[in-house]
Structure 1
Amino acid sequence: MSLKVKIPADSLQLGMYVVELDRPWLDVPLMFQKFMIKREVELKTLKEYCQYVYIEVDEQFWSLQKDKLKAKAKTAPLPENTPLHHELKRAHGTYEAAREEAINLFELAKMGMKLDISHTRRIIQSCMISVMSNANALFWLTRIKDKSQFTAEHSVRVAILAIALGKYLKLDEQQLELLGLCGMLHDLGKTQIPEEIVDKPCQLTEVELRVMQKHTILGYELVNSDHSINSTVKDVIKNHHAHIDGTGYPKLPAEQISFYCRIISIVDAYDTMTSDTCYSRSSSARDALKELFNQRNKQFDGELVEAFIRMLGIYPPGTLVEMSNGEVGIVISTHPEKKLKPKVELVRDSEGKLRKSLIIDLSKSPSDKSGMRYSIKRPLADGAMGFDMRSYIQQTHHIQSNNQR
């Protein structure tokens, strides 16, 4: 079945079939009315003369593309309505609650019990509130990682980053909640995989890898009969390892990979690369973003990868960085037009000792006591130089984890 849909002229592509304009056809210097765009000159003319047009598409194709076209038409920097250090305390409570919820969900799934996601939905809504206030606080907290709870914590981090990307793409609150649920539940199937494979402290054998890959189907089977779980979430659980180029698992043509799946696959890969696992050391955020960029239009949706990189910046909030004078800092926030000059909180002196916290804005070219202008020398992996984000937040911001109260 064909549909007539309205899209921004800037989103037009070669091969689209145009059936109506936002102005009379005679006002536009084109030879035909209702035609397939085959030449760049036609594309340029439509974009020059029209703000939006109507195209005719297959209904199945449109169900995939409508969110992408909406997202492509508008993006905006994440809001910072509350100073980071004011938001951090509330965000910490939200993150701890999300962590406990994820651990509980995975325990229930492991025992084969029915999941009640009504509380999970409320947790996701709390994450959305924090992201809309100042996402940088939750970004900081996603850098606190416990290998013994990797799968559950990973799911929380994927949910948070997916919500943030959705907010950056100006998706509505219903879509943000759905993205958060997709992130929280995408790896449920790992509860059905033997622990000796999930927690194996070295690379998996080919046979073990095939068993691990079954977690997508096993997760889908866990929730498929549960009518309280949205079909989009079920689809993400089943297909988040499918690749745009037809590889991955399961092997799907690109048009069958949903918008939500495309987002979760990017965020899932990013968090895995930037985390210590039982069989690999973490990469810096910058190296992980570089790998995502290299895999755009292969493993991942290219436009969404580029949006994710724009959202986080070259040095994502929470990134540990070594400064040009040997001091160490944590990136607080980035500006989309000044990606190489974020705000940084200096936390260690040039000798590696904890120092009194000092926030500097690299876009204003600050200098240290010797007159040397600050700049970032290199990003560091989480935990580099023995730096413990959890301890730093507890000591500097007087926030304790629930299990330490």
Structure 2
Amino acid sequence: MLKKIPIHQVQLGMYLQSMEGSWLSHPFWKTKFVLRDPADLEALLTSGVPMVWIDVSKGSDVQDQAVPDTLVQDLVDAPSPASASTPPAEAAPAATVAPGPARVERVSMGSEMGRAAQVVNRSRQAVTALFGEARMGKAIDPEMCLPLVEEVADSVSRNPSALISLARLKTKDDYTYMHSVAVCALMVSLSRQLGLDDTQTREAGLAGLLHDIGKMMMPLDVLNKPGQLTEAEFDIMRSHPMRGYMMLKEGGAVPEAALDVCLHHHEKMDGTGYPQKLKGEQISLLARMGAVCDVYDAITSTRPYKAAWDPAGSIQRMAQWTGQFDPVVFKAFVKSVGIYPVGSLVKLESGRLAVVIDLNPQNLAAPMVRVFYSTKSKLPIPVQMLDLANPANSDRVVGRESPQDWGFTHLDDIWRKT
């Protein structure tokens, strides 16, 4: 017999049949199971899911006394099962999703855009010079990279979307360099979402910055080829993690965590990745994080051989790639960049189209948007900014739209306006 109950009444021993709300707010990548693990209960209670359906013929029923509020609060405040002191380079289990401590007060997207643009420009110059020296065989000095990582981390602390979104707007010519900056920023943001400490977050950022250094050892005609690679060319490109690892290892000063991410960011949870076909917990936490960040920036960027996918569509596609990513790490990643990342085209219940211009961290399904088009009249309308999380607002997102389907090529100009 099925019964619909509010989230605060869920207890261990219940058989979960289904959960209400957006699928991305669900804390599990499975349904229809008996809730036995206290960590799973904690994840469910803190997920924002409002109601669940339970099958009382297969598990416990609601007890007369509801779960006390104090117990719920204790579960919310409980430490993550994966200790924050676990060295990132070890094969640690993925951390429970929990927001990390903010280093500085969060500001709006508009307030951070100017500073983020300056960081992006300095980063482009620094990484281009750094990678140029690596191509000439010079050793990488991580001490020279840390000020750049700190600048990126500070911008991410103020507003993650600003720098991450700007770094996504790379050209075909500077893709390799700006991809490294973008992955650095994504790794920092994800580290904070997973609750890693400042030292681990700094190492994650450095690892993101250096993860593709092996591409400096690839032939330029293969690296920058405008068309699809042949199988032989793919074999050459698949050697870049090992080549990068050896390059950094020979320098002797790069942390083990960065070496590990460089070598293993193309491994997959199901063991089908490369270069070593590691599987599951054989892959370190930071390498699992690197895998998600690397792919997201790659598919949302224009490449020599393909156009960029839109941010929200990329998240949706990545969620369907069973076996590639650590589910908990991926869920944390979605929480860090948003269900509808900045730059996403969304359709509102009113029939209007809008571009996401900032996130509401407390409600990822209700971002800040700029409305600019009516699907009813098929005509542009006066641009209007809406905070969809504001109770006074009566509109809401009903789904993402493909910019290509509508022929929109100017969305970046809309969300970048401050």
Report TM bin, short chain: 0.7 to 0.9
Judge conservation of contact 2:366–2:396 (CA < 8 Å) in 1. no
Give the corresponding residue for 1:330: 355
For residue 291 of structure 1, the aligned residue among 277, 294, 317 is: 317
Native 8 Å contact 1:282 1:381 kept in 2: no
* Alignment partner, residue 167 of structure 2: 142
Aligned to 2:177: 152
Distance in 2 between the 1:52 and 1:114 partners?
40
Extract unaligned runs of 5+ from structure 2: 1-33, 42-70
How many pairs does the alignment contain?
345
* Residue equivalent to 1:178: 203
Q: Secondary structure of 1:72's partner?
A: coil
The reply to whether residue 378 of structure 1 matches residue 392 of structure 2 is no
> Structure 1 residue 64 and structure 2 residue 91: aligned?
yes
Q: In structure 1, what is the Cα distance between the partners aligned to 2:194 and 2:152? A: 17
Whole-Å separation in 2 of the counterparts to 1:234 and 1:60: 13
In the alignment, the residues of structure 1 paired with residue 242 and residue 408 of structure 2 have an alpha-carbon distance, to the nearest angstrom, of 40
Find the aligned partners of 2:342 and 2:274 in 1 and give their Cα distance: 32
- Deviation at 1:85? 1.4
Q: Is the alpha carbon distance of 1:106 and 1:354 closer, same or farther for their aligned partners in structure 2, counting shifts above 3 Å? A: farther
In the alignment, what sits opposite 1:94?
119
State the TM-score, normalizing by the size of structure 2.
0.71
| Residue correspondence of structure 1 range 3-402 to structure 2 within 5 A | 63-65=90-92, 68=94, 71-72=95-96, 74-75=98-99, 81-250=106-275, 251-296=277-322, 298-321=323-346, 329-336=354-361, 338-346=363-371, 358-364=384-390, 373=395, 375=397, 378-380=400-402, 385-387=408-410, 389=412, 393=416, 396-397=417-418
Partner amino acid for 2:313?
D
Whether contact under 8 Å (1:138, 1:160) holds in the other structure is: yes
C-alpha contact 2:210 2:262 (8 A) present in aligned 1: yes
Instruction: Provide the C-alpha distance between the structure 2 equivalents of 1:204 and 1:187, rounded to a whole number of angstroms.
Output: 18
Paired residue secondary structure (2:251): coil
Contact 2:360 2:389 in 1 (8 A): no
1:63 Cα offset (Å): 3.9
What amino acid is aligned across from residue 386 of structure 2 in structure 1?
I
Contact 1:143–1:389 (CA under 8 A) maintained in structure 2: no
**TM superposition shift of 1:167:** 0.9
Q: What's the % identity of the aligned pairs? A: 28
- Contact 2:188–2:202 under 8 Å retained in 1: yes
- Per the alignment, in what secondary structure is the counterpart of residue 385 of structure 1? coil
Q: Distance in 2 between matches of 1:281 and 1:80?
A: 36
Q: In 2, Cα distance between the equivalents of 1:61 and 1:123? A: 21
Query: Separation in 1 of the partners of 2:101 and 2:345?
Result: 22
* Structure 1: unaligned runs, 5 residues or longer: 1-39, 398-405
Q: Is the 8 A contact 2:100 2:197 kept in 1?
A: no
SS of match in other structure, 1:338? coil
RMSD (Å), alpha carbons? 3.8
Question: Structure 1 pair 376/273, CA: closer, same or farther in 2 (3 Å)?
Answer: same
Q: Cα–Cα, structure 1 residues 95 and 61, in superposed 2: closer, same or farther, change >3 Å? A: closer
CA deviations 1:226-252 (Å, max 9, x no partner) are 222111111111111111111111212
